[in-house]
Amino acid sequence: MPTERLINALQSYGVRLADSRAGAPSRRGGAGPSDHKAMTIAGRTVMVPVHTEAAFDSPFLVRRPDADGVSVIEHDGVVIGQATFPGRPRFYALSTFDGVPYSKIAVLHGRDVLATTVLQTCIRYQNRAKTCQFCSIGQSLAAGRTVAHKTPEQLAEVARAAVLLDGVKHMVMTTGTPNATDRGAAVLCESAFAVKAAVDLPIQAQCEPPDDDRWFERMKASGIDALGMHLEAVTPEVRARIMPGKASVPLERYYAAFEAAVPIFGRGQVSTYILAGLGDAPEAILEMAGRLVGMGVYPFVVPFVPISGTPLESHPAPGPDFMHAILKPLADMLAQANLRSADIKAGCGRCGACSALSTYERAGVAA
Ligand code: SF4
């Protein structure tokens, strides 16, 4: 099976792990996709669901690692590949000067990405009617696995250690939305400024479009190299159903914000996250992707993962054929436009671990 199809299938079905202790600790809850474990397959480090309902019944089983740390992957009992697991990061053993474990400030994503949610609270998460139905930003906070507000000093300290001890290559800073004005841009600016003062690490910041486009200049001046403003869903009906609060920001505001941000951060350095499998047809996602690519925005399309404890925990994940119908033409579209994940300075598009998209990009280049 080609690597991109294998990764696609593993991300759709999830896997059963013979040894759940293998590799770095898996992510449970938190902002964005969760309930995954990082594993490396054919040189690509990807996040594969392991704690979802579907994963418990997955036809894929990852065996216990051998003495060299290599695990075989079986499909219905037939060996189809092998995987290794990135190890537990060394910076997880440390605590900040004020006594907070580093792992509550930021975590390792994929193989070499430091990820943090600066504000673990969100105006949209206050009640079930407004919350994004896929999101579990409050779960890890309630479980005590993180702190509500990571200070600039804490972030700088952890980022420096993660670079020195674990060789992280870039950083993702996301945030819950604190207000309906700057929408988190201000706290991202102060965080990025402190990290950049401590260590030379490319940073992607992620937030909703702020009310004033001048924030993009300020973000860039603070040391933010790349920007993510995440659509999640692309049609008005699905947006209203899946993220009733966030859908109050109209698509037109996103388009205007993309237009304003691309000249500041550069073509391909502004991206958006699109969750496939929530109701948008492949054609609708590809149509939106075409519009975004035309603006110089990288559309990072990711299979939806139903996270335990969220309103969508029983919603099915998209099948591999559904994802293939999007990712293959999308990779071709990106190649034609000369937009490459590898050229993104920092962030989810560069990491690529939550989707097979970048593997499709490479497969297209190789072909
Ligand atoms: S794609 Fe983004 S959310 Fe997924 S592992 Fe990489 S940095 Fe984290």
Residue pLDDT, tens place only, 178-190: 998 999 999 999 9
Residue-level pLDDT at 367: 65
| Mode of pairing for the β-strands spanning 71-75 and 297-303 | unpaired
Residue-level pLDDT at 30: 58
The CB-side HSE value for 51 (13 A sphere, CA atoms) comes to 18
Q: With 0-12 CB in 10 A as exposed, 13-18 as middle and 19+ as buried, what is 123?
A: middle
Ligand 1 pocket, CB under 6 A: 32-33, 47, 109-110, 113, 115, 172, 348, 351-354
Examine the pLDDT at 98 and tell me if it is beyond 60.
yes
Helix (H, G, I), strand (E, B) or coil at 173: strand
Give the Cα separation of 206 and 348 in Å (integer). Answer: 10
Q: Quote the number of domains for the chain.
A: 1
Question: At 31, is the pLDDT very low, low, confident or very high (cuts 50, 70, 90)?
Answer: low
Helix (H, G, I), strand (E, B) or coil at 36: strand
Residue-level pLDDT at 28: 63
Q: Tell how far the Cα of 235 is from the centroid of ligand 1, in angstroms.
A: 24
Evaluate whether 258 touches 286 at the Cβ level (below 8 Å): no
Closest C-alpha to ligand 1, atom 8: 109
Give the Cα separation of 291 and 183 in Å (integer). Answer: 24
In 3D space, the residue among 123, 237, 223 whose CA is nearest the CA of residue 181 turns out to be 123
Beta strands in the chain (DSSP E): 16-17, 36-41, 44-49, 60-62, 71-75, 78-83, 107-109, 113-117, 170-174, 203-206, 226-228, 270-276, 297-303
Q: Which amino acid is at 113?
A: V
Question: At 118, is the pLDDT very low, low, confident or very high (cuts 50, 70, 90)?
Answer: very high
The CB-side HSE value for 268 (13 A sphere, CA atoms) comes to 13
Q: Tell how far the Cα of 174 is from the centroid of ligand 1, in angstroms.
A: 11
Question: At 162, is the pLDDT very low, low, confident or very high (cuts 50, 70, 90)?
Answer: very high
Q: Tell how far the Cα of 64 is from the centroid of ligand 1, in angstroms.
A: 25
Closest C-alpha to ligand 1, atom 7: 348
Within 8 A by CB and 6+ apart from 106, the residues are: 114, 115, 116, 150, 155, 158, 159, 162, 171
Residue-level pLDDT at 294: 98
Kindly state the tokens that stand for 165. Answer: 């001890």
pTM metric for this prediction: 0.94
φ/ψ of residue 77, rounded to 5 = 90, -5
Q: Tell how far the Cα of 62 is from the centroid of ligand 1, in angstroms.
A: 21
pLDDT, tens digit, for every residue of 276-335? 999 999 999 999 999 999 999 999 999 999 888 888 888 999 999 999 999 999 999 999
Least confident of 26-35, 309-318, 335-344: 26-35
Which CATH number fits the domain that encloses residue 351?
Answer: 3.20.20.70
Describe the crossing of helices 320-337 and 3-13 by its angle, rounded to 10 degrees.
Answer: 130
Tally of CB atoms within 10 A around 27: 24
Domain that holds residue 151: 3-364
In 3D space, the residue among 135, 204, 239 whose CA is nearest the CA of residue 346 turns out to be 204
Residue-level pLDDT at 307: 85
Full DSSP string of 262-318: HHHH-TTSEEEEEEETSS--HHHHHHHHHHHHHHTEEEEEEE----TTSTTTTSPPP
Q: With 0-12 CB in 10 A as exposed, 13-18 as middle and 19+ as buried, what is 202?
A: middle
Q: Which atom of ligand 1 is nearest to the CA of 347?
A: 7
Q: Which atom of ligand 1 is nearest to the CA of 33?
A: 3
